[in-house]
Amino acid sequence: MKATSRRNFLSSVAQSALTVSLLPAFGAGIENQLVGEGKLRVAIMGLGSYANRVAEAMLDCKRAVLTGLISGSPEKVKTWQSKYGIPDKNCYDYGNFDAIRSNPDIDAVYIITPNALHKEQTLRVARAGKHVICEKPMSVNAAEAEEMVAACKKAGVKLLIGYRMHVEAKTLEVIRLRKSGAFGKIVFFQGLSGFKIGDPTQWRLNKSLAGGGAMMDIGIYSVNGSRYMVGEEPIWVTAQETKTDPVKFKPGVDETIIFQMGFPSGAVASCLSTYNANHLDKFFLSGDKGFAEMQPSTGYGPIMGKTHLGTLDFAHRTHQTVQMDEMADVILDNKKLEVPLDGEEGLKDMKIIDAIYRSVASGKKEFIS
């Protein structure tokens, strides 16, 4: 080898070694791309407080990694880029995110925006050929939910809903016990879901963005929980609404709804959804041989529970970390979960919520189609 060639070769090697040694200094974005192989690469749409909770939880994921951002706020994007090491080429706004179609760093988009935006954003993500993870409620009514399910099927992408309780250990143990017959014939379920909401100007109290009020945001936990706890689909509902503050809770924004559901076996449910009372996060399941009680039942944890057999004793794991890893398994490996997280599950809840609102308006028993 000539001296000049040898010097060029050594210089090249040295430069390569220097580049590799400096990789971490460029932020986690480059590392994300390097470790992204075999993992679900996720862009988060909507960078609010819950999105940040999800992103922080994903730092501990084994199969999911944050690789992209979609937001209407350039300031938030810059902050998130600094915190999570996301490169400029993986950042989009609400006007241009259709361009993710040609971005191999993004496999799925987690939509964490106001409810009324979910349908159109889901349709756009599906048309871009990316899998969709949508926060609950998946839409503002069943008709929109059906459009979302159909669009994702047509595009050949998966649609998953952010039902983190479907993969929570104590919840799954209650389901296992119910399936084993430990509770006997299920006869009754109670679900209490509520908190006292604050800022009256927030989007959750704006019908055009939220699609409703407490039922959409917190009551859906009792709707969904009744289904996986009882193990059946309700066939009818009755519901009554009360409102103590018509200024804060304008027409179409429910403050408190008490609702009842009936199941094919004869089991019944009695539930409360409210934005006007704290310390309401409880599930109770009764069978002719035993019971299960969980309080808190759906909060961020730890979930606390017991049955007639004793305390439910499982170590707490961050729900969003477990959820994102399980979702990665579903999307990448077609894993079948004990309680599905798919769009059809979300659609079932929307049909029930539609019936609850119909019953509030009619004052009658409404059947679920």
Kindly report each contact of residues 18-27 with a partner whose C-beta sits within 8 Å and lies 24 or more positions away, as own/partner. 26/85, 27/81, 27/82, 27/85
For residue 244, give the DSSP letter: S
Annotated catalytic residue within 84, 92, 110, 221: 221
- Helices assigned H by DSSP within 137-285: 142-155, 169-180, 207-210, 214, 220-230
Counting other chains too, the contacts that 196-201 makes at CB distance below 8 Å and 24 or more residues apart are 196/275, 196/276, 196/277, 196/278, 197/275, 197/276, 200/247, 200/248
Residue 288's φ and ψ, nearest 5 degrees, are -80, 0
Give the whole-angstrom CA distance, residue 369 versus residue 340.
20
Residue 300 a catalytic site member: no
Selecting among 39, 119, 130, 136, the annotated active-site residue is 136
Catalytic site includes residue 2? no
Across the strands, what pairs with 191? 271, 283
Q: What is the set of active-site residues?
A: 136, 221
